[in-house]
Amino acid sequence: MIIEKITDYKYRIPKSNFPFMRVDGIVYADETLLEAIKNDKTIEQIANTASLPGIVGYSLGMPDAHQGYGFAIGGVAAVDLKEGVVSPGGIGYDINCGVRLLATDLEYDDVKSKIEELVKQLFHEIPSGTGRGGDLKLSYPELDEVMKLGIDWAIQNKFARPEDKEFIEEYGRLPNANPDMVSNKAKERGRDQLGTLGSGNHFVEVQIVQEIFDEEVAKGFGLHKNQVVVLIHTGSRGLGHQVCTDYLKEMDAAMKNYGIKVPDRELACVPIDSKEGKRYLQAMASAANFAFNNRQLITYNVRNVFKRLFKTDKVRIVYDVCHNIAKIEEHNVYGKKMTVLVHRKGATRAFPAGHPALPEVYRPIGQPVIIPGSMGTYSYVLVGTEKAMEETFGSTCHGAGRTLSRHKAKKMMSADEAVSKLREKGVFIQATTKSGITEEIPEAYKNVSQVVEVVHQAGISKKVAKLKPIGIIKG
Amino acid sequence: MTYKFLDHTSDIGVEVRSSDFKGALVEAIFGLIEIIFGKSFVDFDCNANFETLEISSFDKESLIVDTLNEILYLIDTRKIIPVKPEILDLSNNKVILRYKPFHFNFDDYPIHLYVKAVTFHQLEIIENENETIIKYFVDI
């Protein structure tokens, strides 16, 4: 396949590579990351995504891109709202998987003697959901309210503070949610999973702000050096997974009715305006609202632990971002303003200063972009830029991105070795299973600092702060 | 055991071999259960009456994905491991599956890997005269 270098951080996959490509592909990477990306089917998947009816601009790959299902993980595709399609594979099975950063009023010295106890209590209070379910077992009408109201449900039920809403993407509620479009199977899978972490790469980490790159923006986000923060990474659990499964099946069958052919079955899609498309977007919004509440219940438990251990209730949300979602947004495409549906699968919204979607407090600064690292490595806070609006539909990377299979990772290191290595770095970990540790060792991932450097150098988001973990809770 | 696990950057795959499609589908079920619980249930039995499950799809690929997603649903929501699975009928992309429902608890049977979904990604069915091979990948 022909891949052309545009700059040191940007490569083009010309549409001439395959007859089905409607637009070029663009990959943000440096030379070494590009080599890693070329090791699996990522490039092919970015090219396949360029076949979607109605796609505009480019099929985009972020520097953390790796092979996914249909779409690459770390992929962005915008489609014309009138002519385009919606593809559940462009959002992923974990709808509104995302990250939330909480900032405390504590500094490292305030917590260092209690880190082990803090990790133990957080592990106890936050169920993984892969064994013990959540503390809440919702009735079906209650679950419908969770999905319909988004974060307003948590505010009404005292799991959230009214001000929390301001600091969540879309203010914690996608407006077109309709729980009637979510199957009973999906509801049954999600009913006892609210407030649970899940397994895989999901985690809660206690971190300290180790380095500030942009003092002014960091100050605007309320971050300073040595501050204790908490990062939550999880999504919509079994409910979201089942929504994706249900609609992939439905769209796979319906595609022929619309004369749509795609090079990969996991790219199944239908026109946005079709009855199946509308139903999926309502179900997706419902699952997204469930995910906002999932991270909120974990926030509630984190706050309780900090209050009990450190007598502080100053644990505020810096920001909560989705990295598996589709959103209707306005962008400049081919020199004119266009309403598009932006699929972000393993990609984070990165809106610049002045964007009306941002809360008032961040509007002069830009959107906080939270990038989780792999287990035990750094995470980053970035800020959205105008260049992201110009080039990537206001999107950037979402994390480190795997390079090794779980099987290979397990062969590299035992759980005990991994725990010892973390302890040497001053990091305490508590996990439900040993495999949850070995499969997520940092060696199985790309270097998150390198990923972040690419988006920083490419200008599609800018570095603000680097966060170092001191405690990890894993499912 | 006539299934083996396949490497994938972010997830995991299963390759099964059997003399026919029915047998391969049963092996595919065993493979999925082993991914989730980290151990084989091929020789596992329990005292329970058989239950049946009927799954209809529109082609063989969908039938595999749909059947395995049904197994996932049983495990995730009803906390049932379907043991001694057997295909009673397979025709016109419809399968009637019989199994003994083993109600597990998480203390004795902890989840080793939480599977989000069984996918069409790199799904392959190879049917030869004397052997059927199925390859599938799950999202974890």
Q: Which residues of B touch A (CB under 8 A)?
A: 5, 7-12, 38, 58, 61-62, 65-66, 69, 73, 76-77, 106-107, 110-114, 116-117, 119-121, 123, 137, 139-140
Closest by Cβ to B119, choosing from A69, A189, A475:
A69
Per-residue pLDDT, A407: 80
Residue A109 pLDDT > 80:
yes
Any chain B CB within 8 A of the CB of A105? no
Average pLDDT along chain B: 92
Buried b / exposed e across B46-80, counting CB within 10 Å, b at 16+?
eeeeeeebebebeebbbbbbbbbbbbbbbbbbeeb
- Summarised one tens digit per residue, pLDDT across range A71-104 is 999 999 999 999 999 999 999 999 999 999 999 9
Higher pLDDT, A419 or A296: A296
Per-residue pLDDT, A350: 98
- Summarised one tens digit per residue, pLDDT across range A201-230 is 899 999 999 999 999 999 999 999 999 999
Q: Averaged over A20-40, what is the pLDDT?
A: 95
Distance CA A193, CA A293 (A): 11
Using pLDDT thresholds of 50, 70 and 90, give the confidence band for residue A131: low
Q: Averaged over A388-409, what is the pLDDT?
A: 90
Per-residue pLDDT, A399: 92
- Could you give the ipTM of this predicted complex? 0.87
pTM of the model: 0.95
Judging contacts by C-beta atoms under 8 Å, the chain A residues touching residue B117 are 93, 241-242, 244-245
Strand partners, A431: A474
| A100 contacts A299 by C-beta, under 8 angstroms | yes
Give B107: exposed, middle or buried? Use CB within 10 Å, 0-12, 13-18, 19+: exposed
Q: Is residue A273 helix, strand or coil?
A: coil
Q: Averaged over A330-343, what is the pLDDT?
A: 96
Q: Give A 378-437 residues with CB within 8 A of chain B.
A: 402-408, 432-433, 435
CA distance, residue A236 to nearest chain B CA (Å): 11
Distance CA A203, CA A436 (A): 10
Q: Is residue A307 helix, strand or coil?
A: helix
Judging contacts by C-beta atoms under 8 Å, the chain B residues touching residue A185 are 73, 77
Distance CA A431, CA A314 (A): 27
Q: Averaged over A324-348, what is the pLDDT?
A: 97
DSSP B13-44: EEEEEESSHHHHHHHHHHHHHHHHHSS--TT-
Any residues with CB less than 8 A from the CB of A72 and at least 6 apart, and which?
A41, A42, A45, A46, A49, A61, A65, A66, A345, A346
Q: Lowest mean pLDDT of A52-61, A192-201, B60-69, name the range.
A: A192-201
Please state which CATH number belongs to domain B3-139.
3.55.10.10
Per-residue pLDDT, A133: 65
Q: Averaged over A411-427, what is the pLDDT?
A: 89
Angle CA B17–B83–A474, to nearest 5: 90
Strand partners, A270: A86
Q: Which chain B residue lies closest to A254 (C-alpha atoms)?
A: B58
Residue A388 pLDDT > 70:
yes
Per-residue pLDDT, A200: 80
- Summarised one tens digit per residue, pLDDT across range A240-259 is 999 999 999 999 999 999 99
Using pLDDT thresholds of 50, 70 and 90, give the confidence band for residue B9: confident
Does B9 contact A94 at a Cβ distance shorter than 8 Å?
no
Q: What is the total count of domains within chain A?
A: 1
Q: Which residues of A are catalytic?
A: 398
Per-residue pLDDT, A374: 85
Per-residue pLDDT, A129: 67
Using pLDDT thresholds of 50, 70 and 90, give the confidence band for residue A432: confident
Chain B interface, best mutation among A71, A130, A132, A192, by max B CB count within 10 A: A130
Does B116 contact A93 at a Cβ distance shorter than 8 Å?
yes
Using pLDDT thresholds of 50, 70 and 90, give the confidence band for residue B94: very high
Any residues with CB less than 8 A from the CB of A459 and at least 6 apart, and which?
A385, A387, A388
| A42 contacts A72 by C-beta, under 8 angstroms | yes
Domain residues for the domain of A314 are 4-474
Any chain B CB within 8 A of the CB of A107? no
Q: Averaged over A181-201, what is the pLDDT?
A: 92
| B94 contacts B56 by C-beta, under 8 angstroms | yes
Residue from A9, A90, A129, A32 nearest A347 by CA: A90
Q: Averaged over B63-86, what is the pLDDT?
A: 95
Residue from B105, B78, B98 nearest A185 by CA: B78
Q: Which chain B residue lies closest to A265 (C-alpha atoms)?
A: B120
Distance CA A145, CA A284 (A): 15
| A53 contacts A84 by C-beta, under 8 angstroms | yes
- The size of the A-B interface in CB pairs under 8 A is 95
Judging contacts by C-beta atoms under 8 Å, the chain B residues touching residue A249 are 62, 65-66
Buried b / exposed e across A359-387, counting CB within 10 Å, b at 16+?
eeebbebbbbbbbbbbbbbbbbbbbbbbb
Distance CA A12, CA A332 (A): 20
Judging contacts by C-beta atoms under 8 Å, the chain B residues touching residue A241 are 116-117, 139
| Backbone torsions φ then ψ of A107, nearest 5 degrees | -115, 170
Distance CA A376, CA A422 (A): 7
Q: Which chain A residue lies closest to B36 (C-alpha atoms)?
A: A130
Residue from A156, A27, A12 nearest A454 by CA: A27
The token duo for B100 is 């003994």
Q: Averaged over A29-37, what is the pLDDT?
A: 95
Any chain B CB within 8 A of the CB of A198? yes
Using pLDDT thresholds of 50, 70 and 90, give the confidence band for residue B113: confident
Average pLDDT along chain A: 95
Question: What value does the CA radius of gyration of chain B take, rounded to a whole number of Å?
Answer: 14
- Summarised one tens digit per residue, pLDDT across range A298-310 is 999 999 999 999 9
Using pLDDT thresholds of 50, 70 and 90, give the confidence band for residue B121: confident
> Which DSSP helix (H) or strand (E) runs through A390?
helix A386-391
Q: Is residue A203 helix, strand or coil?
A: strand
- Summarised one tens digit per residue, pLDDT across range A368-378 is 999 999 888 99
Distance CA A66, CA A77 (A): 15
- Summarised one tens digit per residue, pLDDT across range A149-158 is 999 999 999 9
Residue B1 pLDDT > 60:
no
Per-residue pLDDT, A453: 98
Strand partners, A327: A342
Any residues with CB less than 8 A from the CB of B129 and at least 6 apart, and which?
none
Using pLDDT thresholds of 50, 70 and 90, give the confidence band for residue B70: very high
The token duo for A468 is 């170092």
- Summarised one tens digit per residue, pLDDT across range A354-370 is 999 999 999 999 999 99
Q: Is residue A341 helix, strand or coil?
A: strand
Residue B30 pLDDT > 80:
yes
Cβ–Cβ contacts within 10 Å for residue A141, how many?
A: 8
Cβ–Cβ contacts within 10 Å for residue B4, how many?
A: 11
Using pLDDT thresholds of 50, 70 and 90, give the confidence band for residue B64: very high
CATH number for the domain spanning A198: value is: 3.90.1860.10
The token duo for A349 is 């919204």
Query: What percent of chain A has a predicted confidence (pLDDT) above 70?
Result: 99
